[in-house]
Amino acid sequence: MINTNELRNGMTILFEGNIYVVLEFQHLKTAKSGAMMQTKLRNLRSGTVINKTFNGGVNLDTANVTKTQMQYLYASGDMHVFMNNDTYEQIELHRDRIANELLYLTEGVNIQIMMFEDEVLGVELPDKVVLEIVETAGAARGNTASNAQKEALTNTGLKLNVPLFIEQGEKILVSTMTGKYDSRAKQS
């Protein structure tokens, strides 16, 4: 249990049968109603964001959400297999649950799986991932404007704009937050 006055960004709570993470909070104090806590919460099951105002001093149940480091192994039809790096235990997630994240996942990438009890809530990607360019348009002759870019397609199906000097077959770093080109990947 946690008091609404103790809410902070990133905390997870159980409210109305759902699991929420606190995105924003603000203390309000009015003469009529006393102390209140205005919050912005994201439902970890559906991804929807709601605004909710709680009376001051109300107790809420906390949700113990754990994060486990896992490695993406492979796709088997619509199912995607992940392995726990410590126990070698494997779990499968359906394509629909991680459709957006699949644009950044390649075999062998380590990610965080968020779980509540035995329920998988979602996947937390690293800040940047290495993807390979499989298709890109040629640079237009004479196009030397600074920051000129062209469209490219990665091995995961992500379409993004890259600088003119990036060629097919190159590996690049992509931000998982913005979906944009970051830099060339270091050669290993």
Query: Does residue 29 sit in the same domain as residue 69?
Result: no
Query: Does residue 69 sit in the same domain as residue 33?
Result: no
The residue whose two tokens read 């944009």 is 180
Of 19, 41, 62, the residue at which a domain comes to its end is 62
Q: Of residues 145 and 59, which shows the higher confidence score?
A: 59
147 pLDDT above the threshold of 90: no
Measure the CA–CA gap between 160 and 8, rounded to whole angstroms.
Answer: 35
Measure the CA–CA gap between 9 and 24, rounded to whole angstroms.
Answer: 6
DSSP E strands in the chain: the ranges are 2-3, 12-15, 18-30, 34-43, 49-55, 59-62, 65-76, 79-84, 90-94, 110-116, 119-124, 128-136, 149-154, 159-163, 171-175, 181-184
Measure the CA–CA gap between 82 and 93, rounded to whole angstroms.
Answer: 8
Neighbouring C-beta atoms of residue 123, cutoff 10 Å: 21
Give pLDDT, residue 74: 94
* Pick from 67, 74, 154: nearest CA to 109: 74
pTM of the model: 0.75
Query: Does residue 133 sit in the same domain as residue 168?
Result: yes
Strand order through the sheet with 34-43? 2-3, 59-62, 12-15, 18-30, 34-43, 49-55
Kindly compute the dihedral angle of the four CA atoms of residues 53, 56, 57, 58, in this order, to the nearest 10 degrees: -20
7 pLDDT above the threshold of 90: no
Query: How far from each other are the two terminal CA atoms of the chain, in whole angstroms?
Result: 49
Give pLDDT, residue 157: 93
pLDDT tens per residue across span 55-78:
888 889 999 989 999 999 999 999
Structurally, how many domains does the chain consist of?
Answer: 3
Which residues fall within 8 angstroms of residue 87, CB to CB, at 6 or more apart? Answer: none
The residue whose two tokens read 């297999």 is 81
CATH number at residue 102: 2.40.50.140
CATH number at residue 27: 2.30.30.30
Neighbouring C-beta atoms of residue 134, cutoff 10 Å: 13
pLDDT tens per residue across span 85-105:
899 999 999 998 888 899 999
Give pLDDT, residue 128: 93
141 pLDDT above the threshold of 80: no
Of 103, 124, 145, the residue at which a domain comes to its end is 124
Rounded CA Rg of the chain: 21
Q: Of residues 46 and 106, which shows the higher confidence score?
A: 106
Measure the CA–CA gap between 66 and 113, rounded to whole angstroms.
Answer: 8
